[in-house]
Chain A
Amino acid sequence: MSATPFALRATGVTRRFGALAAVHDVSLDLQRGEIHAVIGTNGAGKSTLVNLLSGEIPLSAGSVQLDGADVTHWSQPRRARAGLGRSYQRNNIFLPLSVRENCRLAAQMQAQQAWKLWQPAARCRFSTARADQALERAGLAALAGRAAASLSHGQKRQLEVAMCLATTPTVLLLDEPLAGMGPEESARMLDLLRSLRAEHALLLVEHDMEAVFAVADKITVMVDGGVIASGSPEAVRADAQVQAAYLGGHA
């Protein structure tokens, strides 16, 4: 698709709130075919980082590149249309709408054609096809007609990811997709992530250490807004600083 190897590249990303630097000088690369996990203690700035990369809040310093293009000053919708999708830590879905409509709306944004008033949205082949594909992928096809509000927590987390998929992104920023999930649901979600790896670049922010080490190709560790280690899972596990700050001394 593009010449650059990096689907997403963050360089020196910094965000200050007054005197406090919530994220300080963070750099990382995301490649297609890779799951890059970001871990850290509470308040380490992981969610802020995701918000900065997705464009939800502006940078204080640094730059972000998507497929070679400098998107630092692009709005979130613009980045999303260019292939940068994200899911939220807390369920951020359209509760009163059906599961299918949730995904269809997200998909619609890739080919809006809002001025074509005579065409019913429900018969828009572009968005309904992508919505069905995303639901299939996420394992929610059977629930397509249900109201999103009636789903269980785990199913809502799946819908979060499905909505992200519906926009057919190149890069997925997933903010704690496993949050609040039981073991069976977590295993299913991890399988989904593994299956997505081939065609996408995934950034995974997570707390669940087992899941992270099971699925990640690269891990970046953040503490107090800055990066203290970044590399393969084995390297990170062996890193002394990481062990002291985060893993509590055990491997």
Chain B
Amino acid sequence: MHKHIPTAAWAWLAAFVLLALLPVLPEPVGSAFHQELGAKVLIMAIFALSLQLLVGYTGLVSLGHAAFFGFAAYTVALLAPQSEAGNGWWLLAASVGAAALLAFVIGLLVMRTRGIYFIMVTLAFAQMVYFVFHDTDLGGGSDGTYVYIKPEFTLFGHRLLDLEQSAHFYWLALLLTAATVGLLALVLRARLGHALVGIRHNEQRMRAAGCNTTAYKLASFTLAGGLSGVAGFLFAVQHGYVNPEILAWHQSGNALLMVILGGIGSLPGAVLGAFSFVLLAEWFQGMTKHWQLLMGGFIIIAVAVLPQGIAGGFVWLRGRWQARRRPTLAAVVPTPQESTP
């Protein structure tokens, strides 16, 4: 049976193939520094993508997403053996599983709250997780703990990747980003994803139609938490060091910013937002010690002026272009969002 593969899938594929070429490009473009920066961007992209599912598609604004990211990172650091390379498959599965479990537990507690309460309690619970790691000896307290040797991914005795090499780590990050996008696209295309979008647009209506919205929201929360664990795993492996600050609420705030910067309700938007944010932060930090002033000002202006984010800007431009080609009333009506990932 012939399956229709949408244009968006080809665009993603092309983008990933192009990005995969980075390490083989000649210096200075393909330098180790750029590979590491690229991996950093990809890690944040996964983090932002996971939050996009929750905020952009389910309509749940969480200010505590860093808790799951950080919990996964700590899981890697705590489970990784100190004297030999750990099993990459196991560590990845364990950290994602841990993040998902934490998300499920916290989700159970917060799912009955709405609107502004939800924002506040997610922040509060994330802060609780921060205190657990900061005040106790669980993860070395405020000093944090290390991943001494990078984990290995082996298949039938062969080591697939040497994560000490920046190129290999970059490709792993790229692969996991692609997997995340693929999984999210699948979910959004399926009944579950459509129901989540329905909940975002009108939860009351969904309930009136027979949807147990609490269960669906919990599923979204858990899935989003688990996916942020993928980012947490990569973060721990790249840095080799975790401390409570990765659980700080500023990290959650940054994640939200990436999502809104790129555009709510758009998967490419989340990636664009992460890309913009990381590069912007690097740029500002290079300019002045007081870079947070610039970042703060930028956030305020960006949110005030571009509520639909970068992706929204593209949609607006496309609308204007279509209107110029076919000047009708159709230009004013936004296109239905049920099938575009």
Contacts and interface: CB of A to CB of B under 8 A. Distances in A.
Interface of A: 54, 56, 75-78, 80-81, 85-86, 88, 92-98, 101, 104-106, 108-110, 112-122, 124, 127, 146-147, 149-150, 163, 166-167
A145 to B, nearest CB: 8
Contacts of A116: 190-191
Given A81-B210, A114-B219, A105 B194 contact: yes
A114 B191 contact: yes
A82 B241 CA distance: 54
Contacts of B219: 114
Interface in B181-214: 186-187, 189-195, 197-198, 201-202, 204-213
Contacts of B336: 96-98, 101, 147
B191 A112 contact: yes
Contacts of A97: 197-198, 201, 336-338
A149 B201 CA distance: 12
B211 A109 contact: yes
B335 interface: yes
Contact of B210 (A80, A101, A119): A80
Contacts of A95: 201
B210 A110 contact: yes
B216 interface: yes
B290 to A, nearest CB: 41
A76 B190 contact: no
Interface residues of B, number: 32
A121 B186 CA distance: 10
Which of the listed residues A95, A96, A108 has the most CB atoms from chain B within 10 Å of its own CB?
A: A96
Contacts of A113: 191
A122 B339 contact: yes
A96 B57 CA distance: 13
B333 interface: yes
Contacts of B333: 146-147, 149-150
B330 to A, nearest CB: 9
A48 to B, nearest CB: 16
Given A97-B338, A101-B338, A114-B219, A77 B207 contact: yes
A86 B170 CA distance: 53
Contact of B337 (A96, A119, A124, A167): A96
A101 B192 CA distance: 14
Given A97-B336, A119-B191, A77 B211 contact: yes
Contact of A163 (B194, B195, B205): B205
A150 B333 CA distance: 7
B334 interface: yes
B223 to A, nearest CB: 10
Which of the listed residues B202, B208, B219, B336 has the most CB atoms from chain A within 10 Å of its own CB?
A: B208
B213 A120 contact: no
A106 B204 CA distance: 12
Nearest to A124: B191
Interface in B141-196: 186-187, 189-195
Given A98-B336, A105-B198, A118 B190 contact: yes
B195 A108 contact: yes
Which of the listed residues B193, B197, B207, B210 has the most CB atoms from chain A within 10 Å of its own CB?
A: B210
Nearest to B193: A121
Given A116-B191, A163-B209, A147 B334 contact: yes
Contacts of A75: 207, 212
Contacts of B192: 114-115, 117
Given A101-B338, A122-B339, A76 B208 contact: yes
B201 A94 contact: yes
A106 B195 CA distance: 9
Contacts of A118: 186, 190
B212 A77 contact: yes
Nearest to A146: B333
Nearest to B196: A114
Contacts of A115: 192
B195 A114 contact: yes
B338 A122 contact: yes
Contacts of B339: 122
B205 A94 contact: yes
Contact of B213 (A77, A104, A110): A77
A122 B190 CA distance: 8
Contacts of A88: 208
A121 B210 contact: no
11 contacts: A75-B212, A80-B208, A88-B208, A105-B206, A108-B195, A120-B189, A121-B191, A121-B193, A124-B191, A149-B334, A150-B333
